[in-house]
Structure 1
Amino acid sequence: MLSPQKPVLTTSWRHLTATLLTGVTLAAAAAFASVAQAAPNATSSDWAQYQKPLLMENKSTLYQRVLSTPGCLLKSDPSARDGSEVPAFSQFYVYADQGDSYLVGNNATGNIVGYLKKDCSVPWKQQLAMLFTNPANRMRALIFDEEAALDRIIDQDDGADYYKQLYAQVEAGQSAAHVISIEPAEYVDYQKQFYLLPILNSVESMFPDGSYVYKHEIASIVSKDAQNVTTALASQKSATTSTSGATNSSSDVATSTSGAATSISAATQQGNAASITAPVNGAEASAVAANGQGDDKTQPNAAIVGFKSAIVFVIDASISMQPYIDRTKQAINSIYKSIEASNLNDSVQFGIVSFRADTKKVPGLEYTAKMYLRPGEAHNAAEFNAKVEQLEQAKVSSAQFDEDSYAGIAMALRDINWNEYGGRYIVLITDAGAIDADDTQSSTGLDANALRLEAEYHGAAIYTLHLLTNAGKKNHSHAQEQYEELSFNRILGKSLYYGVNAGSVQEFGNMVDVLAKSLTSQVRLAAAGELSAGSALAAQDVVETTTKTQEAIVSDSRKLGLAMQLAYLGRVKGTQSPEFMQGWLSERDVVDHNQMVCTPIVLVNRNQLSDLYTLVKGVLEAGIAGQLSSDDMFAQLQALAAQMGRDPNLLSESQSIRDMGIMSELLDDLPYKSRIAALTPDDWYNLGSQEQENMVRGLENALNYLQYCSSDSDRFIKLNEEADASEEVYPIPLDALP
């Protein structure tokens, strides 16, 4: 859970170099020490000739780096048989290319530590990597052995049909032309089975309909624990067809695994895929595959039976809200009666959080946000009613029309153990806008984007039911903008924002009934071993709708239900990313070009996140105080953003980037850029003063979220049990960065 205290960020601008990382994930420090002890010539004079790492091809300032894969050995001599195993995902600078090995160092200033075999490392050209998105509503990604094979899919008018043909062959356990692997049927939860898809090369292309797409050459690095699980699974199944690809037969792999190249049949079996024809859409294909039904679709899936849902209502309890509070209670009581009749009391659990505004401004409000009921604390209607009996609207008005709805959302995300549930839903109910992050009355300092990212981190979806009352007419437009961003769902590619005309209590009640029943039906299906897509609904689960909005709610909730069930199956079954050395994939679904197959992240550790916070904060404060001109502030911020995308270990050098004239070199070839890195100096200059101020305010909000992330020890991943906590890593979404 999040700590209530803010993190201690001690790194200063002047003394930053004393605390920066040395270049390698520090989890490898123990391995370096071991090499030094085992090999007296670890600091041999032969290495003294290598003063700087090798430059990347066609670059004048960017150094070559590599990441280690599981089982890599660090040696004092390239021909030595023995060495010290280094943790997977350790970062090294390349000082020399010596046949089948690299001479590597743990920083860019000459600290050479030994030799690493090439076949147990992958190039680390940038700090960006990819993670798979949830495959519920799209085709699963096929990985190809060459770019030309992917071009055949993207460039041709019949590319989608050809992709479906290859997809069906792979799903059936057959080999397919140039396909070396397939994304698992279930969502791969990096928090449970850590993996990375480092970007080796990126090429921008275009589908015949004019949609832009990146083709990525990626590698796949899976943690050793995940590899061991994969090996165990493979040993229980009979292998069939294997595709060509690079296998890792090196003697430098300390622990034997199933190899770097994955057979199509093994990848399909690991995802529990069934033999099916070319799918109509990704959702139905994934549903059949993940459900493990095969040709016998009458067999229930035991893994999904344990699926439970938490539905947490975050309710505005300001002075105007009593009718909506009462109607929400009524809807939940109705659902309790329904699930009690089906003996599903423990499978659908409700929570209630209420919010008002700043009690310092108006003490009579009594609270800013309050948890009335956590999921699991009430198992029937009577217990629910007892818990929420005191939930009533405020007796006094707030200081402004906006309320602190972000405080309610933050409390729901922070103070509920979402890990106990497969279905994770938050329903925001309000007639007011949200107090902005930079408002002195904001209790969180977080904006809609930050809370949307936080919901994604927890795997939760946020619905907003916005009551469009006459009293809030002047507020509606701004509030809708806020809540559409807050409720944007990346899986669906749309916002789960729904306006309630004129704040009609009847219309609102009907919407709550439809939403609650639709979300509950997913649990009924799960209890019967069915998934949300491709399953016939029982009579009691058919949700009657009378408006297009209600139809949208039902459709969206069913698609989300499938996504959450696939995520749940991935967690309980230990689904891992497929193992392969390198290959090509499309960043977007080849059928629905709006659906992202993978999403960019920046791999950082605690120190790097702290450094970024300190440096950006220093630049912003200097700019706001007038110590930097607007243009200088932009230049320094962009330099930091660019360096973060390339090599966070060199953040302290960002001040010299502008003077050296190498900004374009840092930004060139980066397929994705943060908000400030994506701007050109002309873009910044052409922004009006108000737009520049809004940009700065957005960066300040991003800093607040970085601080929020830093304070949560649970989100950092320990790659080496012996490593210090500062060396734990977090794959932070790119759009969370300044």
Structure 2
Amino acid sequence: MVDVDGGQRPLLMAGKKTLFQRVLSKPGAKLSHDAGGAPGEALPAFSVLYVYQRKDVDGSPWVRVGAATDGRSDGWLPAAQVSDWKQSLVLKFTERSGRAPVMFLRQSSEVEKLLADPAAAKGVLAKAQKNSEDNQQVLALEPTASAVPQNQFYLLPIFDSKESFDENGQPVQLLNIASIDPGSSAAAKPAARALNVNADAFRTAVVLVVDTTVSMQPYIDQVRDVVHELQARIAERGELDSVSFGLVGFRNSIKKTPGLEYVAKTLITLDQGRDPQRFLDMARQVKASTVSSHSFNEDAFAGVMQAVDGMDWSGYGGRIILLVTDAGALRKNDPFAATQMNEAEVRQAALGKQIKIYALHLRTEAGKRTHSGAETQYRVLTADANPQIGDLYTPVPGGDVRKLGERVDEIGSVFANLVHQVRNNTPQPVPLLSAAPTLADKSAAVGYAMHMDFLGRKTASQAPQLVSAWTADRDLTNPALPAFQVCVMLTKLQLNDLQQSLKLIVDAARKTQTSPKDFFQEIASASAYMSRDPQALRKGGNLADGGILGEYLEGLPYRSKSLSMTQDLWLSLSVAEQEDFIDELDSKIRLYETFHNDVANWVRFGDAEPGDALYRVPLSTLP
């Protein structure tokens, strides 16, 4: 090994201008004062460290490392006690709405064998669950009786991956991973806070987000009456403290139509909605607007985000939003849209708080022209990671008032029954969904996953502790179901940089709307201010070549529309396609703001600077 010393700056990765070399410490790694020196302070396993220097001592390679990028190194480690971590890719378990616990195996060949034979995988899983001491084949197992909580930070770094195929020839990624759960570290503390109200009880919050524009009064009244009936049934069981209902109303832009009074407003909080009489009295005050808004589509996303950010969800393990509307939602490209977000970003913001959204779409005769567009939006808004659930889009044919009531009752009853079963310690069977699951079946699977997540928080379930193993990104017993979501770990500085870069692209596009051929020239000029090298852009390269979007996006296993954009491709798009491209980027800028504000899920290792804090950004949300 050649001796290299970065001095006050971490070493750069080969061929990179801005990406530093990073390693993960192996369990048992101990820092030494000098290269080759006596071992001293033990490091937490899989600490994320930057490499400042590499040096050989008597033929053994050593690395000088630090948790921060500001020049402070913590000491030396033998290179054998760290793993190089080039792409900063990590895994997050998907929700347990029907998939089996993940098995971690010794060899990739063993994973491949089980992929080709799901029945054998079921046998191996059953054996591992029966006898956890026997780790001949299965090194470790995801907790069986509860899920690793979605809002708990744990590190599942990917060191290597290979493509394979399941028994039906569908591609599956085989992943070589390591696992560590910081456990009782500061990063895991917020999970305890979420259970502050009656910590032992599983409680559910249902927030109705209702369109309160002209013509919606019969639906508002119906929702009120159905909730009142549900609460009466819940009261008979003595479980009113376990299920709470909230109400948010939404309309449209008050800039455009001041007479609408509000865009989105919390009408009944979850605290107020625990008392049936109070809910009824307050809901009776809710009146549809007497003023028409400027467009048939209303600002449904403003309503959903009001519920996501404006309601106090703490203390609730089950978290549901029921969107009720006869119209589509204003999208990012509408100047009067309050959130400036699209459906995928609103869904992600809700998921960040473990909230599931249902869309009850009243398909009235009056809104006929908007039906297919609204359906597309709401299927994306309510999409579920479990392909057997698909989405929680619920059409109400003809906008039938009674049918709406039946759907609200059906969903509400599933979650009320779940709470009842949990209180009576009734065992929860793993949901088995058919090819065409009913709304109640889907709701039962969603509720099951929420309860598993709650149990994980209550029992402090942790990702299994293991050093290195192989697994697959799909459920080995049923490869149709995803087992993991792939994320990239970005630092606060990188996420800020990504936001700034997208703003630069969006601004350049808006500036050159009338002369699209100047778009790339505009980006090249602007990027010079961000200390990027715009030469490649001027030579006809794409946005990746131009270094506009940071090197941290290069080589990641996802297909990026933005990175591959060239001048020729841009000019070949229609005006509408160009607008869609820009709207999508603009919407992501808003989404990254919600990541930025998601304090509970930022984590720092050692005494790293705030700018070196790390966040798991799902690959699906990258530009």
**Taking structure 2 as the reference length, what is the TM-score of the superposition?**
0.85
Q: Report the CA distance between 1:312 and its aligned residue.
A: 0.7
Match of 1:513 in 2: 409
* Greater share of helix: 1
Instruction: Please point out which of 114, 131, 140 is paired with 2:101.
Output: 140
Q: Could you say what secondary structure the match of 2:157 adopts? A: strand
Q: How does 1:676-691 map to 2 (within 5 A)?
A: 676-677=562-563, 687-691=573-577
Q: Report the CA distance between 1:437 and its aligned residue.
A: 1.8
Instruction: Please point out which of 150, 153, 156 is paired with 2:114.
Output: 153
The answer to which of 329-338 and 410-419 deviates more is: 410-419
1:108-151 per-position Cα deviation (integer Å, ceiling 9, x unaligned): 99987642244553321113211111233112111111211112
| Amino acid across the alignment from 2:382 | S
* Distance (whole Å) between structure 2 residues aligned to residue 560 and residue 371 of structure 1: 25
* Greater share of strand: 2
* Distance (whole Å) between structure 2 residues aligned to residue 55 and residue 416 of structure 1: 45
Match of 1:529 in 2: 425
Kept in 2: contact 1:304–1:529 (CA 8 A): no
* Distance (whole Å) between structure 1 residues aligned to residue 482 and residue 81 of structure 2: 29
2:104 pairs with 1:208: no
The answer to which of 327-336 and 205-214 deviates more is: 205-214
Match of 2:508 in 1: 622
Instruction: Please point out which of 592, 612, 616 is paired with 1:731.
Output: 616
* Distance (whole Å) between structure 2 residues aligned to residue 583 and residue 331 of structure 1: 51
* Distance (whole Å) between structure 2 residues aligned to residue 612 and residue 323 of structure 1: 46
Kept in 2: contact 1:70–1:222 (CA 8 A): no
* Distance (whole Å) between structure 2 residues aligned to residue 206 and residue 593 of structure 1: 10
- Mark the CA change 1:89 to 1:106 in structure 2 (over 3 Å): closer, same or farther: closer
Match of 1:168 in 2: 126
Match of 2:360 in 1: 465
- Mark the CA change 1:108 to 1:307 in structure 2 (over 3 Å): closer, same or farther: closer
* Distance (whole Å) between structure 1 residues aligned to residue 473 and residue 581 of structure 2: 28
Kept in 2: contact 1:133–1:597 (CA 8 A): yes
Kept in 2: contact 1:96–1:104 (CA 8 A): no
Kept in 2: contact 1:436–1:442 (CA 8 A): yes
Instruction: Structure 2 unaligned segments of length 5 or more: list them.
Output: 189-197
* Distance (whole Å) between structure 2 residues aligned to residue 671 and residue 526 of structure 1: 40
2:585 pairs with 1:699: yes
Q: Could you say what secondary structure the match of 1:513 adopts? A: helix
1:595-624 per-position Cα deviation (integer Å, ceiling 9, x unaligned): 211111222333322222112211321233
1:166-201 per-position Cα deviation (integer Å, ceiling 9, x unaligned): 111110115254321111222212533x21111111
- Mark the CA change 1:386 to 1:97 in structure 2 (over 3 Å): closer, same or farther: farther
Kept in 1: contact 2:245–2:270 (CA 8 A): yes
| Amino acid across the alignment from 1:128 | L
2:351 pairs with 1:480: no
Match of 2:193 in 1: none
Kept in 2: contact 1:315–1:355 (CA 8 A): yes
- Mark the CA change 1:336 to 1:48 in structure 2 (over 3 Å): closer, same or farther: closer
Q: Could you say what secondary structure the match of 1:470 adopts? A: coil
Kept in 1: contact 2:252–2:263 (CA 8 A): yes
* Distance (whole Å) between structure 1 residues aligned to residue 6 and residue 607 of structure 2: 30
Q: Report the CA distance between 1:94 and its aligned residue.
A: 6.5
- Mark the CA change 1:212 to 1:684 in structure 2 (over 3 Å): closer, same or farther: farther
* Distance (whole Å) between structure 2 residues aligned to residue 228 and residue 389 of structure 1: 44
- Mark the CA change 1:65 to 1:726 in structure 2 (over 3 Å): closer, same or farther: closer
- Percent identity between the aligned chains? 28
Kept in 2: contact 1:493–1:595 (CA 8 A): no
2:158 pairs with 1:199: yes
- Mark the CA change 1:392 to 1:96 in structure 2 (over 3 Å): closer, same or farther: same
Match of 2:22 in 1: 65
Q: Could you say what secondary structure the match of 2:205 adopts? A: strand
Match of 1:436 in 2: 331
Instruction: Please point out which of 332, 341, 350 is paired with 1:455.
Output: 350
Instruction: Please point out which of 206, 221, 224 is paired with 1:326.
Output: 221
Q: How does 1:362-373 map to 2 (within 5 A)?
A: 362-373=257-268
* Distance (whole Å) between structure 1 residues aligned to residue 516 and residue 64 of structure 2: 42
Instruction: Please point out which of 434, 439, 442 is paired with 1:553.
Output: 439
Q: Report the CA distance between 1:630 and its aligned residue.
A: 7.1
Kept in 2: contact 1:53–1:95 (CA 8 A): yes
* Distance (whole Å) between structure 1 residues aligned to residue 332 and residue 29 of structure 2: 46
Kept in 1: contact 2:29–2:77 (CA 8 A): yes
Instruction: Please point out which of 91, 102, 105 is paired with 2:63.
Output: 102
Match of 2:192 in 1: none
Kept in 2: contact 1:50–1:95 (CA 8 A): no
Q: How does 1:581-620 map to 2 (within 5 A)?
A: 581-620=467-506
Kept in 1: contact 2:360–2:394 (CA 8 A): yes
2:231 pairs with 1:336: yes
Kept in 1: contact 2:106–2:469 (CA 8 A): yes
- Mark the CA change 1:341 to 1:55 in structure 2 (over 3 Å): closer, same or farther: closer
Kept in 1: contact 2:7–2:71 (CA 8 A): no
Kept in 2: contact 1:402–1:435 (CA 8 A): yes
2:285 pairs with 1:409: no
Instruction: Structure 1 unaligned segments of length 5 or more: list them.
Output: 1-44, 230-302, 536-547, 641-650
Q: Report the CA distance between 1:688 and its aligned residue.
A: 4.0
* Distance (whole Å) between structure 2 residues aligned to residue 60 and residue 389 of structure 1: 63
Q: Report the CA distance between 1:593 and its aligned residue.
A: 2.9
| Amino acid across the alignment from 2:266 | M
